[in-house]
A and B are shown apart, each in its own frame.
Chain A
Amino acid sequence: MAAHLSYGRVNLNILREAARKELREFLDKCSGSKAIVWDEYLTGPFGLIAQYSLLKEHEVEKMFTLKSGRLPSADVKNIIFFVRPRLELMDIIAENVFSEDKLHSSREFHILFVPRRSMLCEQRLKEQGVLGSFINIDEYILDLIPYDGDLLSMEYESAFRECYLENDQTSLYHTAKGLMTLQALYGTIPQIYGKGECARHVANMMLRMKREFAGSQNQILPVFDTLLLLDRNVDLLTPLATQLTYEGLIDEIYGINNGYVKLPPEKFAQKKQGEASKDLPTEPKKLQLNSAEELYAEIRDKNFNAVGAALSKKAKIISAAFEERHNAKTVGEIKQFVSQLPHMQAARSSLANHTSIAELIKDITSTNLYLSLVSASEAFFDNLTVEQEFMTGVDTDKVNTYIEDCIAQKDPLIKILRLVCMQSVCNNGLKQKVFDYYKREILQTYGYEHILTLNNLEKGGLLKPQTSSRNNYPTIRKTLKLWMEDANEQNPNDISYVYSGYAPLSIRLTQVLARPGWRSIEEVLKMLPGPHFEERQQLPAGLHKKRQQGENRTTLVFFLGGVTYAEIAALRFLSQMEDSGMEYIIATTKLINGTTWIKSLMDRPECQTP
């Protein structure tokens, strides 16, 4: 079921199994039939750990969404609340419990806090007078969720906002805890590198926690050689840019949530003979995307321009395989062919799906200039051109006409914000005049209430006035070779292919760390925000790895504040490079793209219309 997690260099299924075991143990604690009341936010992440079937095996008969008022009736012995430790949710639970007691007295209540129980919340339940109604109050430590064979995510959406806008480091505490759990399963990570304030904070907490457990030393041979902690605010630029890998584009255009994407159904309509295509499906098509699907694993990280070729190659292979049946003469051969059929059929339907998705994307991105007017594709292309101008440092200190036009056309605000922030980042802050102009334009066009959002972006450092006269972005760009003129999209030789020219800063830092080391870029590191550091964790004697000749080292790269699919693709590319000698496992607080990221930083006062 989760085989794709164990394919990689590090078997992440261990982590998933540990999480499942804990879940089962909790469920068995509440004997008898149960209903789960879900904090809606948790259903997605939980889906990565356990399907409904597991819950059903443990007598979960009903599932509800947590909402105020009365609980739906269900003939079960136990009601279990699965919630994040948030005060507003406690109030709802209290309401549920109150309205419940009057009707039935025999139902037993339990709370499972994810990822950690909170004294504050329990206090609140006590104040509401319901704390005593709960038989079990437990925590389900779900920090790092295995997302794919080389990818862990905490699915903690607000991490960046909390850290940089609200000075709330809860997510970092959970990160540190999660890393401790990981080390308990995969051994102590001997080397820790980091860049950024949050990274420093996480490393400090880890070292502190290690001291707490010091008496019981971990006797597992370390799987990871290095941990690299990177603050998202060290590289604000990358998520703002439009991702150009296949998976990145799917996420940019349709949004991937907890490994699932919802697509417009038209292209997926099964046209059967004799059936009119009248009744097109209206429900969006929901697809799971991960490396369990062979074809997807193959193409997800390619530049979109290389996907078409890959798909047609695959199509040929598959049809050739189907042709094989004509060659099958003997009963044995036929039997052999038939045994492969399910696999081949799966491959064929996978191919059909991805061909449809690729078509959908192509409609939006196709760069056939002049062909259609004021169309989506032209907008996409123009947008990309401006992004690339900014990244290469062209006219970043002036008001950009394309942005102006977009505002005039009332394009979506998030698109505008992405571009303006990008310009600001690439210019190390905008000139006061330009800065004020953009802000005024945005307020006048999209409404004054966005002044709060602009304040937030300013606080987060995404949009700011230039304070020092020196713009150090060009130096950073040149030293780290962030722009590669001749990015090869079909057969890449450098990570810059993921943005068709722009090499993500975060990944360059990772790459340089592996070889030749950060000492070579000391100057640039000083220009980027936050401290950079190195820590070593002592291993118990006898656990030092004896490395085989040619054996790769494994690095866990942890992005604090989110990572994009394109960055992941770039790291996978580095893992696959023959001479890199390094394999990367990726962990993050949340998988993001420019849109979801900016969205998480927006503030919208609820308006009372007079």
Chain B
Amino acid sequence: MAFITANWNPLGEAFYRKTELYEMSWNLRDGLRDSLVAAAPYGGPIALLREPHRRSPSSRPQLEIYSASGVAIASFPWKSGPVVQLGWTVSDELLCVQEDGSVLIYDLFGSFKRHFSMGQSTKLQVLEAKVFHSPYGTGVAIVTGSSRFTLATNIDELKLRRLPEVPGLQGKPSCWVVLTQDRQTKVLLSNGPELFILDNTSCTAVCPPGLSPQAGNIVHMSVSFSYKYLALFTDTGHLWTGSSHLQEKLSEVDTKKTTTPKQMIWCRRPKSQQPSVVLMWDRLLLVAGVCSDTDPCVLVGELDGVRIVSSTNQELLQEVPLVCQDIFKIASMAPGALLLEAHREYEKSSQKADEYLREIKEQSMLGEAVRQCVEAAGHEYDTNTQKSLLRAASFGKCFLTDFSPDQFVTTCRELRVLNAVRESSVGLPLTHTQFKQMTLQVLIDRLVYRQFYPLAIEICRYLKIPDYQGVSRVLKHWASYEAIARAVCVKVGDSPGVSYSHIAAKAYECGRTELAIKLLDFEARSGEQVPLLLKMKRSQLALSKAVESGDTDLVYTVVSYLKNEMNRGDFFMTLRNQPVALSLYRQFCKLQEQDTLKDLYNQDDDHQELANYYVTASYREKRLESRLSLLQSAVDEYNKAKNEFAAKATEDEMRLLRFQRKLDDEKGAGLLGLSLQATIEALLALGLHKQAEQLYRDFKVPDKRYWWLKLKSLAEKEEWEELEKFSKSKKSPIGYLAFVEVCIKCNNKYEAKKYVSKVAPEQKVKAHLAVSDLEGAADAAIERRNESEMAAVLSRCSASDRLLIDRLNRARTTATKK
């Protein structure tokens, strides 16, 4: 622990430290010499292209991809044209910019994904290219043989922008960088002593403030990770640093080196007051002044430092975070440092622990101390240091009552995750700051992308990420890679929210249709299953899935698809096996295609429905003959369906229609289409009693109904004599109260009275009342000794019927007595 500061180097106020990240797992024969190297920030992968300019087909250069720890991921011979520049996109795709302006995109595993070109012209010659990152994504900038710059801000939405000409520029500039400022992407370039800013429309000469004129030509420049700072290196060895707006100068250093550095990278941590630049020459590494090192290396600019990759190992050079400085600085009295000391003494069971603790507590700085320890632990790379800091924090926490444990817990968890991914086998040397910037989601995505599925799942579970964001998503990707149905489902099966259709779609893309179908079986969302099944031409299966879903629109969709795909016979057969689909299709036909409906019923031998179909159709016919022939078809079908009643009823209807037509022709009676009842009514109204009688007999109209009919019809026509005759023709099946009531309804009390005497005893009172014969009603009620009837009569009596009222009341009392 005491040696923690051993690798710290002071620079002005701040300290810089170099932490060894890895001993590289790779074994490079020629080191990094003569290679194009691209390493992605955030502990990203490293791509290596040996001797990119070797063009003989017999010895093609080899493109190799490694993890940050040097574990080989892919390697393949480079068969395309000469490569000018390699670079990584934000989503870990490798960009290879070729001399002819085409850009080839490979994934992490070296499989070719796609390509695009930085210009239309075939004579394009790319002199230099740069891959840069901005809020819009990953961009590419090139400078061509004709000294023109072309930019693509986001390669996923390719829009090429040719920048204006730079006056006086021949060939490539001495150096240039891409800047993103004020939501605009610009190029800063130098041509000899001149400095220009190129944007979409103009080329402006600029001058960095405070750069002494003797400084000479600018030969190297570098912009910081955040595009905020700029470093310029001149051929006289002067290093100028300042804001990238070229508004203010930070420092100017004479490095006494007149050769151009191979690489110059900003090294600073966010919010630091001390920006510094790392320069590298062949045998020298210089942090704006300090230097060491010998081996050919590559510098990788990071958010909070610089990674130095050499053929044997990899180091992180960074400014020591303030909180670490506070704690570990020699003789520091910061609360965190005291707490660490207190804990150390405590472990030794020394009473000094109490003294240290008391000292912190007296300043009421214990909370701050714990916070410092936790924060510092986050920045430490060494697990032992992490542990002792966290233990100290935990120790200090015991003496605080209302200290929120959140930060402590989160840091512990995150450190566990970080330590796991820093493992050489995984090779993501992320610092805590980088992790925070990149977010957990992206980390998991990157793990998934690198096919570290089990680790990704473990992390999701460990950090308790909701399934649909975490485990399920990982499983989805994993399964789409492994693509073996059973194994997939055994493993994926119990995690809800997995989209099997995505997996299946992937499997289908890989040409594994059967597997895709099996996988789809596990998809809960039919809406997702069906379109894919249709795409795979598994229409039968699509249909049964659609039916299963209950979503009728989906069923309709498949049905209409099938209808176009299949011949009619097969189509019908398919539907026949799916009753739900069949009935939906019938519904559709009912509204849209009547003829098809008939064919469907025919095919199914559904005689009942077929008959109904004919009946409906018959009503659409204007000509009686066609109507009758359709009805005859209905009769046949009803017979086949063993629906005797319907067959008979239909035959009756045909008979009735013929009868009506005959009478219409003979007498112009206008009967056609009327119901039997209405026909008889009409006949009676026309005085055609004989014909009415005939229908009554032929169609076996029940007596009761016929009597009612005739009674009403005669009364309406006021044929009272005829009515009386009719009443006497035989005993009325509807009784005689009906006669009374109908007469009264036709306002003929006189006629009504004729029938009162014939009314059955239980209805007599009603009959008398109907003809307003109170006395008669009273007599009948008293005779029947019916109390409620008496009451009913009473309620109709007015005060003038004194005598009657008395009589009824007397009868009532006797009736109740009994």
Contacts and interface: CB of A to CB of B under 8 A. Distances in A.
Interface residues of A, number: 58
B562 to A, nearest CB: 13
Looking at A204, A208, A213, A444, the one whose CB has the most chain B CB atoms below 10 A away is A444
Interface string B584-610: 101110011000000000000000100
Interface of A: 85, 87-88, 116, 118-120, 123, 166-170, 172-173, 176, 201, 204-205, 208, 211-216, 369-371, 373-374, 404-405, 407-410, 436, 439-441, 443-449, 451-452, 455, 603, 605-610
Nearest to B744: A373
Interface in B561-602: 579-580, 583-584, 586-588, 591-592
Main secondary structure of the interface of B (DSSP, over half): helix
B646 interface: yes
Interface residues of B, number: 72
A451 B646 contact: yes
A445 B649 contact: no
A370 B763 CA distance: 11
B42 to A, nearest CB: 28
Given A205-B550, A373-B741, A605 B623 contact: no
Contacts of B677: 410, 444-446
B708 A408 contact: yes
Given A87-B592, A445-B677, A212 B525 contact: yes
Contacts of B792: 369-371
A214 B497 contact: yes
B708 A166 contact: no
Nearest to A162: B587
A452 B616 contact: yes
A120 B563 CA distance: 13
Contacts of B466: 215-216
30 contacts: A119-B553, A166-B586, A167-B579, A167-B580, A173-B550, A176-B550, A205-B550, A211-B524, A212-B524, A214-B496, A215-B472, A369-B792, A370-B766, A370-B795, A371-B795, A371-B796, A373-B741, A404-B702, A408-B704, A408-B705, A408-B734, A441-B702, A441-B705, A443-B649, A444-B675, A446-B677, A448-B675, A455-B608, A608-B621, A608-B622
Contacts of A88: 591
Contacts of A447: 674-675, 678
A208 B673 CA distance: 52
B649 A440 contact: yes
Given A87-B592, A441-B705, A169 B580 contact: yes
A116 B580 CA distance: 20
Contacts of B551: 173
B650 interface: yes
A169 B550 contact: yes
A36 B557 CA distance: 28
A168 B650 contact: no
Contact of A173 (B552, B672, B745): B552
Contacts of B649: 439-440, 443, 448, 451
A404 B738 CA distance: 14
B638 to A, nearest CB: 9
Contact of B627 (A214, A404, A610): A610
Given A370-B766, A447-B675, A605-B620, A168 B653 contact: no
A373 B772 CA distance: 11
Contacts of A404: 702, 704-705
Given A214-B497, A216-B466, A216-B468, A408 B709 contact: yes
Contacts, number: 164
Contacts of B766: 370, 373
Interface string B613-638: 00110111111100100000000000
Nearest to B740: A373
A359 B691 CA distance: 47
Interface of B: 466-468, 472, 496-498, 524-525, 549-554, 556-557, 560, 579-580, 583-584, 586-588, 591-592, 608, 612, 615-616, 618-624, 627, 645-646, 649-650, 652-653, 656, 672-678, 699, 701-702, 704-705, 708-709, 734, 741, 744-745, 765-766, 769-770, 789, 792, 795-796
Contacts of A410: 677
Contact of A607 (B560, B619, B656, B770): B619
Given A215-B468, A408-B734, A609-B622, 18 more contacts: A118-B556, A119-B556, A167-B579, A168-B552, A173-B550, A204-B550, A212-B525, A213-B497, A216-B466, A370-B792, A404-B704, A405-B704, A407-B705, A441-B702, A443-B653, A448-B653, A449-B619, A607-B673
A451 B615 contact: yes
Mostly helix, strand, loop or mixed at chain A's interface?
A: helix
Given A216-B468, A370-B792, A608-B622, A445 B704 contact: no
A408 B560 CA distance: 49
B382 to A, nearest CB: 39
CB-CB nearest 5 A-B residue pairs: A215-B497, A214-B496, A215-B468, A167-B583, A605-B619
B701 A444 contact: yes
A367 to B, nearest CB: 12
Nearest to A214: B496
Interface centre among B587, B646, B702 (most CB of A within 10 A): B702
Contacts of A119: 553-554, 556-557
Most B CB contacts (10 A, CB to CB) among A169, A407, A603 go to: A169
A120 B591 CA distance: 14
B587 A166 contact: yes
Nearest to A175: B550
Nearest to B679: A444
Nearest to A374: B741
A113 B136 CA distance: 37
A166 B467 CA distance: 42
Contacts of A448: 649-650, 652-653, 656, 675
A288 B653 CA distance: 46
B645 A608 contact: no
Contacts of A369: 792
Contacts of B621: 608, 610
A169 B552 contact: yes
Contact of B524 (A116, A170, A208): A208
A205 B524 CA distance: 11
Nearest to B557: A119
Nearest to A371: B795
A152 to B, nearest CB: 20
A444 B708 contact: no
B293 to A, nearest CB: 51
A445 B705 contact: yes
Contacts of A214: 496-497, 524
Nearest to A465: B645
Contacts of A607: 619, 673
A201 B551 CA distance: 12
A166 B583 contact: yes
B756 to A, nearest CB: 13
A218 to B, nearest CB: 12
A212 B526 CA distance: 9
Nearest to B552: A170
Contacts of A608: 619-622
Contacts of A87: 588, 591-592
Contacts of A169: 550, 552, 580
A119 B558 CA distance: 10
A449 B627 CA distance: 13
B556 A452 contact: no
A605 B615 contact: yes
Contacts of B676: 443-445
A609 B657 CA distance: 12
A266 B745 CA distance: 25
A29 to B, nearest CB: 22
A166 B552 CA distance: 13
B619 A123 contact: no
Nearest to B525: A212
Contacts of B769: 370, 373
A478 to B, nearest CB: 31
A433 B580 CA distance: 34
